[in-house]
Chains A and B, each alone.
Chain A
Amino acid sequence: MIVNHPTAVLNASFDGDGRLVAADPALAALNARAGGQVGMPMALPALATVVRLARRLGIIVSRAVSVADEEADIDMWARAQPEGAGVRLAVSGWRETPAWSPPRRAETVPADADWRWETDAALRLTLVSPEAGRRHGFDPYAMLGRPLTALFDLESEGDGLLPILAALAGRSALVDQPARLRATGAALALSASVRTDAAGGFGGFVGSARVADVAEPAAVETPEAGLPSGFSEGLDKALRTPLARIVAHADSINAEAEGPIASDYAGYAADIASAGRHLMGLVDDLVDLQAIERADFVPAQDPIDLADVARRAAGLLAVRAANADVLIERPGFADAAPATGDFRRTLQILVNLIGNAVRYSPPGTSVEIGVGHDGGQVSVTVADRGKGIAAEDQARVFEKFERIDTSEIGGSGLGLYIARRLAQAMGGDLTVESAAGQGARFTLSLPAR
């Protein structure tokens, strides 16, 4: 299992022929997993290219690279610098992403933006849409070259923090920073993506402004809010059938059903099939999301036995656990935890929890499933011995599209969000206790029967 190194800088050195001389352990291990070793060129093509270009061009070469490592991709910033006859490689911002993660939010202007602005790295305005001048009645051209704060009066959110500072510090997108236009006092919401330079540094904002709707309070969640109700049906029809066909064909190409093909192509076909499965999972999640976010969503109130549901969920994941060399300790057949809830939805939650636990468990460890009673609630707890979730991330894991340091293939960042929403809809809850490095314990509770 690979660990993330978001802040560390890892080094490696290469001789005049581009052969590896020495590398920090994490980098050496990554290279070794790809089949490389000291005395050979880097086995990871993207890093090898950066090193080779620096050596051949005789200049510093920095760029964002993505390398494959077993089932995950690792994004990193690589900087290769000629040094004497050889090259020194520094890698930073090491961040693991699942190989088939959904594409990152595109660096485009939101569809509801009213006008655009851009800054350079020093937050000087390099673009202010002429449209802004017409809309608000000021001279946008006079703002060019001036600081961002000459155009906008940035406001802090309820917690006293300026979202723009967080965006700068984390080099992450800015979403709905409240602001006022200094020229007119108009209330705006600013969003922006970060332009990074080749070395991963902050290179400026590519932003948009939306006139804030002051009159309307946040829309109350109604069946009409969010996705239209026919959406999930349409999504289902429009995507599932073609995806199933893509996956089936890709699988048969991968299996070389029509005769032998080059192993590269068989591998590509497996990638296509895996990406297709990921998309099907996403379709399922979105359909679920659509259902549970409706105001009239009511799960069934069946008499169920939480211990029995947990045993079934563990059974469904036994093969995957065996492949990962993880033991699932399921509740004994004597255990019972009578509860009220929707059988299918509860099974879905537990498959999700146990699946996550198996995924994050180091080989040779076990996932423990226990049941308990507490007043009017019964609960089932799934505990792993993985790397755990830091206290500050624990609330985030239950949010939509949030992923804390994952290495799984697939996954939309919706699973735990959906699981908690389902648990709460059934009158229960889903909670987590964890500390970084000490594994995680997820507890699903439902009303006792």
Chain B
Amino acid sequence: MSTASSSTPSPAARAQRAETRAQTRMGAAVADFFLPSDARLDDRTRAMAARVLGDAVGALDLAIRRHAARLLGRTGPDDVAERLLRLRDDVAERLSRPGLLPTELVEEMIARVRHDAMAEALPVAVTGPDEPSLVVRLAGVPDAVVASAASALLAAENRRQDDAAASSELPAELHHRLAWLVAAALHEMADHDPAVGRALAEATARSIAAYDEGDRLDAVATRLAIAIDARGEELPELLTDALGDRRLTLFVAVLARALGFDQTQARALVIEPDDERLWLALRAVALDRSAIARIALALADADPRRDIEAFADRLDDVVAISPQEARAALAGLTLPNDFRSAIRVLGGAAR
């Protein structure tokens, strides 16, 4: 049950609540006013991120609630299970209040939405008459490791079309944290009933155990990139063909593999509209002028925020950077993600 109480709040309490709400809103409006326009979330990204979050929470809510209700039905009085199933409160709405969701989770949602929007908008590039697209070709090569990894990527992208099997596609750690938050919200809605709490705990642990991070599209693309193991001279073609086949995830995975970055880091370089580090990364793997230009043009066609003319102004400077210099400039990015976050935390705090 929600927090609705039987007694009506006093006029003073209502005035207090109204003032708090007005202050919160004004604070948010002021913060919004000072946001630089290129940092502001566009409406489409905002709506898509909310939907992705809602789907992830909804899937967890359903799984945890159902299993917990089964456990309660087995051990306790039936009406408790019934009550848990019948809760009408919106878990996603409860968790969307500011400060509840981990920043990393929201970052992941936004990055994924941006990545997917770009992937969807990438122009297709046909490599030759009647030639199958890159991943279809790879799925038919004699090397069984590459072929099965490519088939797995086709299947993973296909699975994404399936609403019925929607999974959060979150990294395991974020999935676990979100699962416990959903359980906590359900527990609160069930008025912290201890029996419900125990059932929710068991159901959540079960849901977490069943989650396989390896099924995520990112992970599947990474396995394909590792299986292909492209060497220097093969990289430019593989990268441009991956974009031409509209497989942005594979493009990111190949780049990450070649540079020794993790997938999240490589994705960040690719989805930022004006990240200098992407050009450094392409130079670090020794791509030449025309390969870099082709990649920049394809990405600009897929993302209206990109300024291809401004890129053209910088192209000569980018090409003048040697691969060694580029690698040195990006050395920090090859450190593990957690290590880099820790470095950022220390950098942000006073000594």
Out of B151, B165, B245, name the residue touching A130 (CB < 8 Å). Answer: B165
B interface majority secondary structure: helix
- CB contacts (< 8 Å) of B164 on chain A: these are 130-131, 134
In contact, A58 and B124 (Cβ under 8 angstroms) = no
- Is A120 an interface position by the 8 A CB rule? yes
In contact, A140 and B123 (Cβ under 8 angstroms) = no
In contact, A195 and B294 (Cβ under 8 angstroms) = no
Given A127-B158, A128-B158 in contact, is the A120-B132 Cβ separation under 8 Å? yes
- Is B110 an interface position by the 8 A CB rule? no
**Interface size of B in residues (CB-CB distance below 8 Å):** 34
In contact, A57 and B297 (Cβ under 8 angstroms) = yes
- Is A144 an interface position by the 8 A CB rule? yes
Question: Nearest chain-A residue to B300 (Cβ)?
Answer: A53
- Is A56 an interface position by the 8 A CB rule? yes
Min Cβ gap A81→B in Å is 12
In contact, B296 and A57 (Cβ under 8 angstroms) = yes
In contact, B312 and A56 (Cβ under 8 angstroms) = yes
How far is B5's CA from A39's CA once the two chains are assembled, in angstroms?
A: 80
Min Cβ gap B264→A in Å is 26
- Is A8 an interface position by the 8 A CB rule? no
Stretch at the interface among A96-104, A196-204, A350-358: A196-204
In contact, B151 and A53 (Cβ under 8 angstroms) = no
- Is A189 an interface position by the 8 A CB rule? no
In contact, A121 and B131 (Cβ under 8 angstroms) = yes
In contact, A145 and B151 (Cβ under 8 angstroms) = yes
- Is A26 an interface position by the 8 A CB rule? no
**Interface size of A in residues (CB-CB distance below 8 Å):** 32
How far is B297's CA from A53's CA once the two chains are assembled, in angstroms?
A: 9
Stretch at the interface among B9-17, B100-108, B133-141, B248-256: B133-141
The interface bits of chain B over 270-311 (1 if a CB of A lies within 8 angstroms of the residue's CB, else 0) are 000000000000000000011001101100010000001100
How far is B246's CA from A195's CA once the two chains are assembled, in angstroms?
A: 12
Contact residues of B between 109 and 136, Cβ < 8 Å to A: 123-126, 130-133, 135-136
Out of B125, B131, B136, B161, name the residue touching A116 (CB < 8 Å). Answer: B161
Given A57-B296, A144-B155, A198-B123 in contact, is the A124-B136 Cβ separation under 8 Å? yes
- Is B315 an interface position by the 8 A CB rule? yes
Cross-chain pairs A/B with CB under 8 angstroms, 8 sampled: A52-B309, A53-B312, A124-B132, A131-B162, A144-B139, A144-B158, A145-B136, A198-B123
- Residues of B at the A interface (CB closer than 8 Å) are 123-126, 130-133, 135-136, 139-140, 151, 154-155, 157-159, 161-162, 164-165, 245, 289-290, 293-294, 296-297, 301, 308-309, 312, 315
- Residues of A at the B interface (CB closer than 8 Å) are 52-53, 56-59, 61, 63, 116, 120-122, 124, 126-131, 134, 140-141, 144-145, 195-198, 201-204
